[in-house]
Structures are given as structure tokens and as C-alpha cells.
A and B are shown apart, each in its own frame.
Chain A
Amino acid sequence: MASTSGGEVTIRDLSKSFTLGGRPLAVLRALNLDIRSGECLVIVGASGSGKTTLLRILAGLEAADSGGVAIDGSPVHGVGAERAVIFQEPRLLPWLTVLGNVAFGLEVRGMPKAEAEDKARFYTALVGLAEFSDAYPRQLSGGMAQRVGIARALTVQPEILLLDEPLGALDAMTKIGMQEELARIWSEENVTMVMVTHDLEEAIYLADRVLILPREKGGTARLVEVELPRPRDRSESRFVRYREELLREFGLH
């Protein structure tokens, strides 16, 4: 079910500031970045560094103050069918079953219910929830609910998958399992993945490149290429060295 090539993102001179207590607070300053088709880019940064804002601009949920984003050459205005977002919370509709939730995106886009549910069945199975198709969200654990959210995003077969701290609310054990799941899905689906996280290990485990957003004014964003074979081994010495390198970037090591 691989999508066709595409999903190349060009970010040029992107700036965004918010007003906080009457003062403008710049969170993104003239950011330039090219995200390659099919890569997994993970954005890290201290809180307030604008990583979630960047993702929301990519999603089309917020507009930039200046500069802009283009996908496969065409500028982004608002949300688009080639992008799907996975939020920190699963954001499931409690009155729909698992299958209904997974099919939601396609149905909203006008696909007939039966056809949408057929496709949804495939992705529900892909995230390992086939036997829970008829369950309601309140019956699911946090990890299972987030899998439903992931399946819903995959079902619309986006070129670009935007993930905003998708595993941030999960417990440590569930989180590791879900990271492996995301790595597997990314390799099978051939989708460009842009993910925000505050978990450096998660970043190294998943990323082709890690974008580190600066916290202080005038700092520059940095890219770290993670050249490790997949599937990655968290205990490997090179993995640990990447972790140390990222920690140094944050001035914590």
C-alpha cells in the first residue's frame, strides 16, 4: 500500500511569533529546511522552542507570520489531503467503534462507508487491533487508543505523516513497543514522517535526521544525521554515542 513518491517538504524563511503577556515572543526565526521524500525527520527541542508550532504549521493548522512551506513544490495553505496528523492524544470519537474511528478520515473525504471500512480493516489489522474492531474507545488502554489514532491517519494514505509527541502520554514499556511499531509502519508504508518528541532516545531510534531547535534567541537550528542500521539497537555503543551528542547539544552532558 505504498504511496507514490512525493512528500517532499521545503521550508523557507519560516517565522512565527506569539503574543505572550502583551509582548511578541518569537518561537521560529527564519527557519530553512528541506525534508526529503520518504525520510523520517524527528524534531527535538526544549519546551518553548517552537517544535509543536512548526508541526502545526506543516499540518496547515496554523499560519506562519512570514516565509512559507511547500510540499512537492506547491505552497501550503491550510490542511491538505496529502498530510495526516497524529496528535499526542488519540482524539477518538467516543461514539464510534475502533473500525468507525479508523474509517473516519476516509468517510469525511467522501468515501462510501462500506469501502472506507474495508480499507480501515486493513489498517486496523496493521496496528494489531483486528480483534478489537467493534470495541468502543472507552474500552481501550492508552496505547491501544493511540494505535487507533495511528491507523486512522494511515488509512487516508498520506504522503506525509505528522506526529506531535504521539507517544508522550504513554508509560515507558508501552512506549518502547510503540516506537518499534512506528519504525515498522514507516518502513512498510514508505511515507515521509515528521515527528516531534522530547524523548532523545525515541528520536535516535526512529530518525534519519534529528532537527534540534534552539531555545535561546539567535540560536540556529541544527541537523544531526543518524547513520545507524535498522532495526536499531538501543544498547549499541554508537546509539549511546548519538544520545550523548544530542545531550551535549542541549548542554546537559
Chain B
Amino acid sequence: MSLQHIEQRVTIPAHGGGTSLGADFPRLASRAVVRFLSRYGILIAFLATWQVSSSAGWVNAAVLPPIDTIVTALWNGLAGGTLLGDIAISLQRAGLAFAAAVAVAIPLGLFMGQVRAVETALDPILQVFRQTSALALYPVFILLLGLGEASKVFVIFWATLFPLLLNTISGVKQVDPKLLEMARVYGATRLTAFRRVVLPGAVPSIFVGLRLSATTALLLLIASEMIGANKGIGFQVMNAQYNFQIPLMFAAIVILAGLGLIANQALVSLQRRLCRWSSPID
């Protein structure tokens, strides 16, 4: 794949389609291309520069292999099934931890945001825990839970818990007291006001927490898999580097980036569905 090749692919939509749209087509198509390039232009240029620098020998191709080599390694890893097992175990670890964090943080955050006494009592210890790096605690978790799955899932859970918890609490506290007073005028009980006003009002902030937590989950996943794992994407990154299988290492990194993008996109779509009422979500 050369630079020209990529550029050609970009311009295909402008010339490749049918003429059924009539005279407006070229103008619409060129506008679409401009929109596409203004969004993805720099990314494409970055990949193209990488490809050219590597294949032309400007950089050490053993350390930064050409993109087509990475794609080939990725394809072989996926088609051969070796990377699929790693993806499965990684998703299981991150997914389990994320689900546990959601199950704990959202109910706890809703409760803490509502009851001032609980928040006052728990806030100091939460601040201490939050400011203590989860990675620094990982050795402690290993001592307590062993070097197996439990400590890995737990360290991810631990790191994922706080962004979600703190955003849920702030979401509840940000709900306009004037709306609660309005609900009270119509005779809303505390439970009704919570269900009809507090909960929907906190949803956007909870989503901020979910997206932060998903990113954190993947971050901690890799870190935990780099220490004492024999399977998983994070393990593959380290292992391929030890064995100097650099294209495979990059293939594992690409998978990670892909998982992050997919997780974020899934949460954004869900947020769009649930929060159609609010201003557009970036």
C-alpha cells in the first residue's frame, strides 16, 4: 500500500458511484469528501507517513514495521485463532470488573448523593482510596488474592469503581433543587421524586462516569496482564516484544485501540438513545 493508493481510496466515493443522483451528485460528493477529510485527514496522513517512513527505511523497520506487515500479523493472529483466545480472556477480565463496578458504584453513588450524612462519612476514605494508584495497590491485591484471575479482576474493578462512583454522586447532587420543589408541589413522595427527577437528571453524569470507567478498565487490564499472566492482549504485547515479534506486538496494540473505540462508541450510542432530550453528545 502506497501513499498514492490511500489517496485514491479516499477519493473513490466522489467518482465511483452511479449518476442516479443527477447533476447535484458531483457537488454533494465533493462536500462529502471534504467532510471526510476534515475529520480523518490527519489520521490518514499519520498512517501514510508511518507506512512510507518504514518501507523507505527512514525509520528502523524492525521497531516500527510497515503498516501492511502489522495488518498481516493481525490477520494471521485472528484467522489462526491465537489472538482470539487472548481477546476472549481479556474481555472476560475487563467485562467482569466493569460489570461489578457498575453494580456497586451506581447504586452506592445514588444513595450517597441523596443522603448527606452517608456522603460526609464516606467521602474522606473515598478520597484517600481514589488518590492511591490502583497499580500501586496491585501487589497488595496479589498478596491477598493470589496471582490468578481474582487479583486481576479486582484491580480493574478497583480502578473502575471511582470514576463511576464520583460521577454518579455529582450527577445526583447537580439535580436542580427547584425541580425537586416542583415535584413536591404535586405531592411527590421522596421515592417518586427520586425516580422521576433525580434518577433521570443524573443519567448524563453517570454516562460520563461509564465512559471514563471503560477507558480505565482497558488501561488496568493491560497493566495487570503484563504482570504474571500467560494469556490476554496485554500479555501478548509484552510477550511479542520479548520474542521480538514486533508486528504481532503492534497487532495486539491495534486490538486494544479497537476495543477502546468500540466500548466508547457503544456507550455513546446508548447515551444517545437514553438522553435524546439533552443537547447533542460529542
Contact = CB atoms under 8 A, between A and B. Distances in A.
B242 interface: no
B185 A59 contact: yes
A199 B146 CA distance: 73
Given A91-B179, A93-B200, A79 B279 contact: no
Chief secondary structure at chain B's binding surface = helix
Contacts of B185: 59, 61, 79, 83-85
Contacts of A87: 178, 182
B179 A109 contact: no
A201 interface: no
Contacts of B182: 85, 87, 91
Interface residues of B, number: 22
B277 A95 contact: yes
A209 B219 CA distance: 69
Contacts of A61: 181, 184-185
Given A87-B178, A89-B178, A108 B183 contact: yes
A94 B274 CA distance: 12
B267 interface: no
Query: By CB atoms of chain B within 10 A, which of A61, A89, A108 has the most?
Result: A108
Given A81-B187, A84-B185, A109-B186, A104 B277 contact: no
Chief secondary structure at chain A's binding surface = loop
Nearest to B199: A95
Nearest to A109: B187
A45 interface: no
Contacts of B147: none
Interface string A63-103: 00000000000000001110111010101011110000000
B197 A93 contact: yes
A108 B276 CA distance: 23
B188 interface: yes
A41 interface: no
A94 B278 contact: yes
Contact of A156 (B186, B203, B277): B186
A101 B160 CA distance: 36
A204 B184 CA distance: 31
Query: By CB atoms of chain B within 10 A, which of A59, A83, A95 has the most?
Result: A95
A94 B279 CA distance: 10
Contact of A79 (B184, B192, B196, B203): B184
B275 interface: yes
A87 B176 CA distance: 14
Contacts of A137: 277
Nearest to A83: B185
A138 interface: yes
Contacts of B200: 93, 95
A186 B187 CA distance: 23
Contact of B178 (A81, A84, A91): A91
A132 interface: no
A98 to B, nearest CB: 11
Contacts of B197: 93
Contacts of A138: 277-279
Contacts of B196: 93, 104, 107-108
B178 A108 contact: no
Contacts of A79: 184-187
B278 A108 contact: no
A136 B276 CA distance: 9
A93 B186 CA distance: 14
A109 B193 CA distance: 12
A253 B231 CA distance: 87
B174 to A, nearest CB: 12
Nearest to A60: B185
A214 interface: no
A115 to B, nearest CB: 16
Contact of A108 (B192, B201, B203, B279): B192
A46 B74 CA distance: 75
28 contacts: A79-B184, A83-B185, A84-B185, A84-B186, A87-B182, A89-B178, A91-B181, A91-B182, A93-B179, A93-B196, A93-B197, A95-B201, A95-B275, A95-B277, A95-B278, A96-B277, A104-B183, A104-B196, A107-B196, A108-B183, A108-B186, A108-B187, A108-B188, A108-B192, A109-B186, A137-B277, A138-B277, A138-B278
Given A95-B277, A105-B186, 12 more contacts: A59-B185, A79-B186, A85-B182, A85-B185, A93-B196, A93-B200, A94-B277, A107-B196, A108-B183, A108-B187, A108-B192, A137-B277
Give me the 3 closest cross-chain CB pairs, A-B, nearest first: A105-B186, A91-B182, A95-B277
